[in-house]
Amino acid sequence: MSCNYADGLSAYDNKGILGAPESFDSDEIVAEKCQELVDLIKKSGHVVLHTGAGISTSAGIPDFRGPKGVWTLEEKGEKPDFNVSFDEARPTKTHMAIIALIESGYVQYVISQNIDGLHLKSGLDRKYLSELHGNIYIEQCKKCRRQFVSPSAVETVGQKSLQRACKSSMNSKGRSCRSGILYDNVLDWEHDLPENDLEMGLMHSTIADLNIALGTTLQIVPSGDLPLKNLKRGGKFVICNLQPTKHDKKANLIVSSYVDVVLSKVCKLLGVEIPEYSEASDPTKHSKPLEWTIPTSNVNTFHREYRKYVKDSKIESIAKKTKYK
């Protein structure tokens, strides 16, 4: 499928601020801010990344609201240039840096608005990822709600029928689903966000010591508001984006540079080696269908941790108020 999947979505007028000018920090300022970001990461016990279309542009996939973004050009009656198809696109330096940061324990979770499947292709484990707007490589059964990885980008978007039977009978995990039909799981404008992905994203964002937005103007809600969820409890918020965002005034740090550059510098300062993309770690290259469903048990387990965190935070807050009376 062409990277211009947006042609398959319903018409929608309110696409936010389009084509805002990009700004670039000097090399010296970027180096200083990357060091500041590294210091914040080292001080944090729970770091969550919020990824948008800007982390995939170096893979040849256009963003939406940039100077040459899909929606920006659409408003002018123009079409963007597509250098690759979804199937040809490979994970960027940023996608692979995220793998390294998770494996080294510096990042605990990723919340993505992207449907391009590059987090999946990079080898990022599902337990570390919420996909709020779907994934062009995922087929979801309408009946049993289980998700499966497709070897190629699906033919439709907007949660339409793929006219294929559920793959649960081909997968050794769990019970077989009878008469279930697979649909794409890419959201259209008015669709509800996937419940488990949203709940995990909300909980992780709330307990995060540090939320980092990468390559997004944070205009789409609720995903664009999630990085703010930790601020009431003293958490930090960092933005790495070339355009101004909806929440610049609330950020503790803004780095105006390419995300690939920033994460490369951050990994180097942390002593973390960024791996190369490998087809061996790419689920779309496996011969057997792999399941991509977030297990409900994972959600329930983390929900207990989340409730404990919220309870402990309230107790700490009351203790501080009592102390200073």
Give the residue numbers marked as catalytic.
133
- Determine if the peptide bond prior to 80 is cis (ω within 30°): no
Nearest to 195 by CA among 126, 139, 128, 145: 145
Which alpha helices (DSSP H) does the chain contain, by range? 27-43, 70-75, 93-103, 118-122, 195-207, 259-270, 296-323
* 144 annotated ligand-binding residue: yes
- CB of 278 closer than 8 Å to CB of 96: no
Q: How far is CA 78 from CA 66, 71, 102, 155, in A?
A: 14, 9, 39, 24
* 141 annotated ligand-binding residue: yes
Write out the two tokens for 85: 């198809």
DSSP 62: -
Q: How many CB atoms lie within 10 A of CB 122?
A: 22
Annotated binding-site residue numbers for Zn(2+)? 141, 144, 166, 177
Annotated binding-site residue numbers? 141, 144, 166, 177
